[in-house]
Amino acid sequence: MYEILIKGDFSSAHNLRGYKGRCEELHGHSWKVEARFEKEGLNDIGISVDFVTLKSRLKYILKKLDHTYLNKIEVFKTINPSAENIARFIYTRLKSSIKEKGLFLKSLSVWESDTSCATYYEKL
C-alpha cells in the first residue's frame, strides 16, 4: 500500500458568524492544504499516480478560493467558512476529480496557521 501526499496553498479572508470572539471579525489566513491519497499498487513504470496530475487538480480547486472573501462563496453563505468546512469543501471537489483506478482520497487537511489544522476524511 502506498500513501501519496500533495500540498497546496491559498490566501483568503473570512469571518465566523456567531463566534464570540476575535474570529467573528473579518480576518485573513495564508492557508496550507495537504491531500493524502492511498493506492495499492504501482503502474508499469513504477509510480502509483502522477504528482503533476494531482497537484494540477488541487490547484484548480484552490484557485477558486485564493484571494477571495470566503463568506461570499455560495456554499459559505449558509455555513461558516471554518477550517473544518473548508477541508470538507476541498475534499469533496478533489474526490470527484479522481479518475485513476484504485486511487483513494484518504484525507484533506487545512492549516490556518502553523499550529492549527482541521482534517476531513470519510469513514469506510
Number of structural domains (the chain) is 1
Alpha helix (H) ranges present in the chain?
A: 51-63, 83-96
Strands in the chain per DSSP E: 2-14, 27-39, 68-69, 104-113, 116-120
What pLDDT, on a 0 to 100 scale, did the predictor assign at position 81?
A: 98
Q: Which residue has the cell 491519497?
A: 37
Indicate the angle between helix axes 51-63 and 83-96, nearest 10 degrees.
130
- List the CATH number of the domain containing 61: 3.30.479.10
Neighbours of 3 (CB within 10 A): 11
Which band of pLDDT confidence, cut at 50, 70 and 90, is reported for residue 25? very high
Residues 2-18, mean pLDDT to the nearest whole number: 98
**Residues spanned by the domain of 96:** 2-120
Over pLDDT 90: what percentage of the chain?
98
How far apart, in Å, are the Cα atoms of 92 and each of 87, 106, 112? 9, 11, 19
Residues 36-51, mean pLDDT to the nearest whole number: 96
Residues 17-46, mean pLDDT to the nearest whole number: 96
Which band of pLDDT confidence, cut at 50, 70 and 90, is reported for residue 124? confident
Residues 66-82, mean pLDDT to the nearest whole number: 98
